[in-house]
Structure formats: C-alpha cells, structure tokens
Amino acid sequence: MFRKIRRSEKELTTAEITAVLDKGEYGVLSTVGSDGYPYGVPVHYAYDNNCIYFHCAVVGHKLDNISNSNNVSFCVVVDERIIPSSFTTRYKSVIIFGKAIELFEDEKRSGLLALVKKISGKYMEAGSKYIDANWKGARQFKIEIEQMTGKGRTIIPCKNACPAGVNVPGYIALIKAGREKDAYNLIRKENPFPAVCGRVCVHLCESKCVRGEVDQAIAIRHLKRYAADRSLAEAAYDDASVRSNGKTVGIIGAGPSGLTCGYYLARLGYGVDIYEAQSVAGGILAYGIPDFRLPKEVLKREIRLIERAGVKIHLNAKIGKDITLNNLKQKHDAVYVAVGSQFSKRLGIPGEELAGVYNGLDFLRDVNLKKNTVIGKDVVVIGGGNVAFDVARVALRLGAGKVHLACLESREAMLANPEEIKEAEEEGIVIHPSQTFKRIIGKNGKVTGIECLDVESCHFDEEKRPHIKVCEGSEHLLPADTVFFAIGQRPESIDAFELTAGRDNTIQIDRENCLTNQECVFAGGDVARGSDSAIAAIADGKTAAAAIDKYLGGSGVLNKGADIPIPEPEKIDQIVLQSRFPMGCLEPEARKDVFDEIHMGFDEANAMSESKRCLECDR
Ligand SMILES: Cc1cc2nc3c(=O)[nH]c(=O)nc-3n(C[C@H](O)[C@H](O)[C@H](O)COP(=O)(O)OP(=O)(O)OC[C@H]3O[C@@H](n4cnc5c(N)ncnc54)[C@H](O)[C@@H]3O)c2cc1C
Ligand code: SF4
C-alpha cells in the first residue's frame, strides 16, 4: 500500500510522487539541526506497484536530534517495517524532520525540486559536500530494502547520475553480449553524441558507480566510446524517417544543445533550421576542444547522422544583427536559443592591454578553424580548469618553448580533470597552483611577464567572489612573452535577443521547460546555465525539444525509436576484485608535438572484460 507524504495541510498525491520516481530522480534534502549546523538527508526510493519506500538518513547525527530541534515542520511517513535496524529513532514511522527543507540540486532534479517546493517552498542550489557522504548511506539502504522486500524497481545510480538519463547498465550488458551496434543505438536513444561523449564527457555516472565502492568504478565512458567506434565504422544508426507535421522550429547555435534539440524535434516531424554563426557546426566541441582529445571526424560523423534525421544547418548565419530573433519568431512556430557561453573573462589587472595577452578560448577557436596564430617561446596560461589545460597543451603542440599554467586554486582544488592535469605534467607543462596575479608587466607595449603572489588561503563567498589571503613578501615574476586568460567564460550576445538576463549574463529560463520570458522562445545549454558541460547541454536540448512539442500541441513525448531488448542478467554469486582494465595512451614524447588523438580506445578483450565488472544494479 502506498503511504502518503504529509506536511500539515499540504499533501502530495501518489501521481505527483510516482511521476518523479518514474524519472528516477534522486535528491538530497537538507535541514538545519538544533546546533545550527546543516545536515543532509538523502532521499532514495525503491518501489513496486503497490508501495513506495523512502530512505532518509542523517549523516553523523541521530534522527532524534533533528526531530528535537526547533525547526521541525516536515515529515515523511513510511512503513515502519522498512526502517533498517541500524537507524536509531524513537519515531518508528516518521523518518525525516526539519524546517526549511532545502534541496541541493546536485544535478538536474526538476521533478523532485517541484515536489519539495510544493511542501516546503525553499531550496538551495548545488555543490554540497554532504551529498557524497549521503549517497553512500542511500545506496546501503537500497541493498537493505532489496533484502527485505526481495524485489524493488530501484534507482540505478549511474543512469540516475547522467543528466541525459542514458541506460548505462543496459548498454554495458549489450557490449558484454557482443552487440555493440545495439549498445550504440541504445545510448543514442537518449544522447545523439555517443562517440563524442565516449571521449570528452565529464562522466558523472562513474562517480556514482556502485562498483567504485568495491574496487574501482566501471570505465563507463571508455565503454561508450568502444560501442560507438565499433558501430560507427558500420554506419549503425537507427532513425526511421518521420512524416512532417507541418510545423517548423528555428534554433540559434549549432552546439551540442542546439543540435540535440533539433535532432529530437526532427524525429517528431518538425522542420528544423539551425542558424550557426561560425563556419562549422558543433560549437565548442568543434572549435574549443582540441583534436588530440576529440578528433574532428568523430564529431562530424555524429553531426552527419543528425542532419540525416532531417535537421538543416545554416553556417555563417549569425542571429542578432542582420537576421533577428523577431525574424525567426515570425518564420518559425518556436525558437530555441542555444548560443553557448563564449566570452572569456579577464581579471581586470594592469597590463591586460599589452600585445601578447590573449583570451584562451579565442586562441583555441583560431587554431581549430585553422586561422593564423602566433605563439611565443614563454607561455603562461592563467586558469586551472579544463579550458586552461586545453590552451596550455595546444600551445605546447604549436611549438611554445616553455608552458606554465598558474591558477588561484590549490592543487587539490583545481577544477580540471585529474587525468588531464597528470597528462599535461607528463608533457612538460609546469603548474603553479595557489597564485594570485598583481599585474602584467611589459616593455615597448609587449608583455614580458606576470607579477604573482603566493596564496595562503582562499575561499569563495555566496556571490562566488574570491576572498584571498596572500603570503606577505611573496611577490615573484613569471617571465612570459605570451599570456592567455582561461579563467572562465560568460555568454556574450544575449542583449540582441532582448531576453531577461540571469546571473553573469545568462538567459533566465524556467528549468522545468527551458521557456524564456518571451512567448514561443526557449533557451538552454551554456547560455542558460553558464559554462557547464556537453552532457548538460545535451540534456537541456532534450528537455527543450519535449517542451517545444508540448507547447506546439504535441504530447511532449520524444520519439526515441524501437525498443532494444537487453540480455538477461547473469547471476553474480561472488564479486571478484578486479580494477578497471586499462586503455592505451600515446607516450608523452610521442604526443606532445602532435594533434593525434592520444587515447587509443579499448580493444575488444579489454572492453569485454571491463563490461563483465558491471554489477548490473538495474536487475
Ligand atoms: C576549451 C573547452 C573545453 C571543454 N571541454 C569539455 C569537455 O571535455 N567535456 C565537456 O563535457 N565539456 C567541455 N566543455 C564545455 C562544453 O563544451 C560546453 O558546455 C558545451 O559545448 C555547451 O554547449 P552549447 O550547445 O550550450 O554551447 P556551444 O557549444 O558554445 O555552442 C553554441 C553555438 O552557438 C553559436 N552562436 C553563438 N552566438 C550565435 C548567434 N548570435 N547566432 C548564431 N549562432 C551563434 C556558436 O558559434 C556555437 O556554435 C569545454 C569548454 C571549453 C571552452
Ligand atoms: S556497477 Fe554497473 S550498473 Fe552499477 S552503477 Fe556501476 S555501471 Fe551502473
């Protein structure tokens, strides 16, 4: 029997809750304990047709303490039989308490967010250190629930962590069965860029993989690339042609978000025109990410499949000047704005105007578009994220003598992927963490170096402003004839669209459906989120496609093609400890001067072996 969630007179209906559960959303509720300290409360669900089971545990804190705090105003009522014995509370049926329940939106959790807002009205955004700790408890609960009930359609951690909701265990099972083409098509139901994401995805799925608690997370991204590379060689795609519904949608920007939105709309019968300012399609994937991480041909192949589904891409068509948003609104039934976030930020220190000081992303764009670029012998890149590392590694490959990378963050707090940091150092790039920059020094109008100070400590406030304590007397000079800024980007061209702006020049949207303040105009990807990731942009493209369809009178259900049967699971009696299988990589000496792809992809033996490590958490 289904048990209700109650909060005083406000109630959630079964339909509302199951809608969220069906999307497999997971969230962390947070409350303030009597000591004023925030406590995370993970919410994990297991359910079958008759009953919903909630898990809500408070890390490092007995539930009684929370319930005794002054802030109690919310509870979840569950079946007392499912409370694991390890939870000590005098309340046998009430297991979450708290006032001002706040939802840390760790990933996209729009349904859960709406649910929490309905009962509590407040939520907080992203980035809680409590989330990870809580996740572990939630997972343990899942196992206990399954032991108790002997069943349970439960949240699948890897799939749930993927913003696009890709069926990870499904495609791993297909790879294990030798059905790479089906695996590719299964991924492609949710994400039209498997080969791209198999190389550059931020792989949130791996950070949540249950196998990670046993030995090492499954190499999910590498397996995705394996399925894509094997099947793209045979032109494996699965797009039945769809009859036109007579309506058209204009999309501004042919980055991953615009292309994804266009792909799903074309599959619903819409005429789709994408207007792209540059001479190539793909957005940052085409002209930001260097070839040694993502070869152009890989991207082009997946864009070709999107075009084959019916999407028309108009290159060198910048919207905002000669053709305006209003023109597109008149021409199309709806418009999706996906222009990305490409205006490089600067620090505003003296000397930024000197010759030899550039924006990192502009440099990458020029290199990728084969424009003339000048590179000196002493290069300093300011920034510690993935963009900074791409700039540094490209500069090295273009013949810079020495490349230094300096950033505000400590080594542990650097935003770049650890793998990328390691590879850059192997190639000879010198990293200077915990630095702040006083001014850029020059001679005869040309940069000669950067004056830096060592940082003792640094934290960011709620407005994301840094508060820096420097080491007194630590001034020193980093010599440079070329300086690149790679400290982040923000959207640049939204003024021309007259849409309501959010933080940092982003377009404000309703997260539920990507709708802007203007009728029939939707927006998503980096222009709405601020600089994020390819998979987040893809997820927004999907959300927008469903919302546009609904807005134009459709059901809002995307056409993802025919079902792909997934093999029956093998019974796992015992987990044998085995770290992930390695993927080949070019040696530093062989790769540091060339743009060849440095990771070689799994061979069949390693892909098969790796797929067998999956614990099949979906069964
Ligand atoms: C150097 C670099 C490396 C990155 N590496 C990774 C990575 O490894 N993994 C990862 O997941 N993410 C990475 N990212 C982030 C990722 O690329 C972005 O989050 C993603 O591309 C955003 O997609 P989007 O479609 O919203 O925007 P974009 O990819 O920026 O595409 C927007 C498109 O709109 C076009 N456009 C802009 N204005 C107009 C206009 N007025 N009219 C017409 N067209 C217009 C642009 O030319 C562009 O093609 C990286 C970003 C950078 C800068
Ligand atoms: S073990 Fe397999 S199914 Fe379980 S979380 Fe990891 S990849 Fe997903």
Distance between CA atoms of 501 and 504, rounded to whole angstroms? 8
29, 102 Cβ separation under 8 angstroms: yes
By residue count, the chain amounts to 619
Distance between CA atoms of 440 and 433, rounded to whole angstroms? 18
372, 477 Cβ separation under 8 angstroms: no
Domain boundaries, the chain: 6-144, 157-238+590-611, 248-335+514-551, 344-490
265, 249 Cβ separation under 8 angstroms: yes
Cβ(318) to ligand 1 under 6 A?
yes
Cβ(342) to ligand 1 under 6 A?
yes
Model pLDDT for residues 113-164, shown as the tens digit of each residue: 565 555 444 333 333 333 333 444 444 544 544 554 444 435 577 887 899 9
Report the pLDDT averaged over residues 497-508. Answer: 90
Cβ(218) to ligand 2 under 6 A?
yes
User: How is domain 248-335+514-551 classified at the architecture level of CATH?
Assistant: 3-Layer(bba) Sandwich (3.50)
Model pLDDT for residues 193-224, shown as the tens digit of each residue: 999 999 999 999 998 787 886 789 999 999 99
Testing ligand 2's pocket by substitution, the residue of 143, 171, 211 carrying the most ligand atoms inside 8 A of its CB is 211
Q: What is the pLDDT of residue 251?
A: 98
Tell the residue nearest (CA) to atom 5 of ligand 1: 289
Cβ(386) to ligand 1 under 6 A?
yes
> Could you write out the DSSP letters of every residue in 197-208?
HHHH---HHHHT
User: How is domain 157-238+590-611 classified at the architecture level of CATH?
Assistant: Orthogonal Bundle (1.10)
Ligand 1 centre from 169 Cα, in Å?
A: 29
Type of residue numbered 517: N
For residue 535, give the ligand nearest its CA.
1
Ligand 1 centre from 547 Cα, in Å?
A: 22
Ligand 1 centre from 299 Cα, in Å?
A: 13
Pinpoint the alpha helices (H) of 80-129: 110-120
Distance between CA atoms of 164 and 560, rounded to whole angstroms? 13
- The residue to which tokens 């040309």 are assigned: 446
Cβ(338) to ligand 1 under 6 A?
yes
Q: What is the pLDDT of residue 573?
A: 62
| Bigger pLDDT: 4 vs 183 | 183
Tell the residue nearest (CA) to atom 6 of ligand 2: 209
Type of residue numbered 217: A
Distance between CA atoms of 120 and 10, rounded to whole angstroms? 9
Mean pLDDT of the chain: 79
Nearest to 101 by CA among 45, 56, 158: 56
248-335+514-551 matches 344-490 in fold: yes
Q: What is the pLDDT of residue 503?
A: 85
For residue 255, give the ligand nearest its CA.
1
The ligand 2 atom nearest the CA atom of 210: 5
Testing ligand 1's pocket by substitution, the residue of 108, 279, 284 carrying the most ligand atoms inside 8 A of its CB is 284
Cβ(532) to ligand 1 under 6 A?
yes
The ligand 2 atom nearest the CA atom of 220: 7
Ligand 2 centre from 344 Cα, in Å?
A: 37
Cβ(615) to ligand 2 under 6 A?
yes
In this structure, is the dihedral angle defined by the CA atoms of residues 57, 62, 63 and 65, taken in order, positive or negative?
Answer: negative
Does 282 score more than 70 pLDDT?
A: yes
Cβ(170) to ligand 2 under 6 A?
no
Does 286 score more than 80 pLDDT?
A: yes
Does 44 score more than 50 pLDDT?
A: no
138, 55 Cβ separation under 8 angstroms: yes
Ligand 1 centre from 30 Cα, in Å?
A: 33
> Could you write out the DSSP letters of every residue in 384-450?
-SHHHHHHHHHHHHTT-SEEEEE-SS-TTT--S-HHHHHHHHHHT-EEE-SEEEEEEEEETTEEEEE
The ligand 1 atom nearest the CA atom of 278: 47
Q: Which tokens hold the place of 450? A: 């950067």
Tell the residue nearest (CA) to atom 48 of ligand 1: 283
- Cβ–Cβ contacts within 10 Å for residue 588, how many? 14
pTM: 0.80
Greatest mean pLDDT among 24-33, 148-157, 158-167, 293-302: 293-302
Q: What is the pLDDT of residue 23?
A: 57
Cβ(528) to ligand 1 under 6 A?
no
Cβ(617) to ligand 2 under 6 A?
yes
For residue 492, give the ligand nearest its CA.
1
Distance between CA atoms of 29 and 113, rounded to whole angstroms? 10
- The 3-state DSSP composition of the chain as helix, strand, coil percent (nearest 5) reads 35, 20, 45
Q: Which tokens hold the place of 328? A: 């597109």
- Cβ–Cβ contacts within 10 Å for residue 592, how many? 19
CB neighbour list of residue 16: distance below 8 Å, 6 or more residues apart? 115, 118
Burial of 390 (0-12, 13-18, 19+ CB in 10 A): buried
Pick the CATH number of 344-490 from 3.90.1170.50, 3.40.50.970, 3.50.50.60, 3.40.390.10: 3.50.50.60
Model pLDDT for residues 420-463, shown as the tens digit of each residue: 999 999 999 999 999 999 999 999 999 999 999 999 988 887 77
Type of residue numbered 399: G
Does 305 score more than 50 pLDDT?
A: yes
Q: What is the pLDDT of residue 39?
A: 44
| Bigger pLDDT: 122 vs 245 | 245
